[in-house]
């Protein structure tokens, strides 16, 4: 259960080089194979062999979790830990909003769950003139 996370790195796998013990991380929740055509062309988020925390593998709503090194994002110390776990849904909102031309346009957000609310905020920051 759970796919949004923030935590302190306590242990490292032998091949993990870009993070160190004590780093505070969030993570990409799509675990990619790294070998398929989509992964090889920079589209790891839609890997045909991909797995998702809390769906295909153990989730991160736990005291301890295992995160593949390739999925770990070191957080800037200026980001409050209370906000860090929402990096993944915020990323969804940003990615979706930036897929089209926003500045000066009307934006329709259908559904105001967490990602929808974040999409409204991102649309406003990006210059949408009207948000429905």
How many Cβ atoms are within 10 Å of 19's Cβ, its own excluded? 17
Structural domain boundaries enclosing 37: 1-77
| Same domain membership, residue 69 and residue 90 | no
| Same domain membership, residue 66 and residue 9 | yes
pTM above 0.85, yes or no: no
Per-residue pLDDT of the chain (132 residues; tens, 9 = 90+): 788 889 999 999 999 999 999 999 999 888 999 999 999 999 998 999 999 998 999 988 889 999 999 999 999 989 888 888 888 889 899 999 999 999 999 999 999 899 999 999 999 999 999 999
CA-wise closest residue to 8 among 92, 20, 44, 18: 20
| Same domain membership, residue 49 and residue 67 | yes
Paired residues of 131 in beta bridges = 107
| Same domain membership, residue 57 and residue 2 | yes
CATH code, domain with 46: 3.90.180.10
| Same domain membership, residue 34 and residue 4 | yes
pLDDT at 52: 92
pLDDT at 45: 86
pLDDT at 40: 97
| Same domain membership, residue 66 and residue 127 | no
| Same domain membership, residue 62 and residue 90 | no
| Same domain membership, residue 97 and residue 63 | no
Q: How far apart are CA 40 and CA 48, in angstroms?
A: 12
């Amino acid at each position: 259960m759970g796919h949004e996370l923030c935590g302190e790195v306590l242990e490292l796998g032998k091949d993990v080089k870009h993070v160190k013990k004590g780093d505070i991380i969030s993570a990409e929740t799509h675990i990619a194979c790294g070998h398929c055509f989509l992964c090889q062309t920079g589209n790891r988020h839609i890997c045909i062999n991909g797995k998702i925390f809390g769906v295909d593998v153990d989730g991160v709503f736990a005291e301890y979790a295992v995160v593949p090194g390739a999925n770990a994002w070191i957080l800037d110390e200026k980001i409050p830990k209370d906000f860090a776990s929402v990096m993944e849904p915020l990323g969804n909102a940003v990615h979706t909003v930036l897929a089209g031309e926003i500045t000066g346009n009307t934006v329709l957000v259908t559904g105001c769950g967490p990602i929808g609310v974040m999409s409204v905020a991102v649309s406003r920051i990006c210059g949408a003139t009207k948000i429905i």
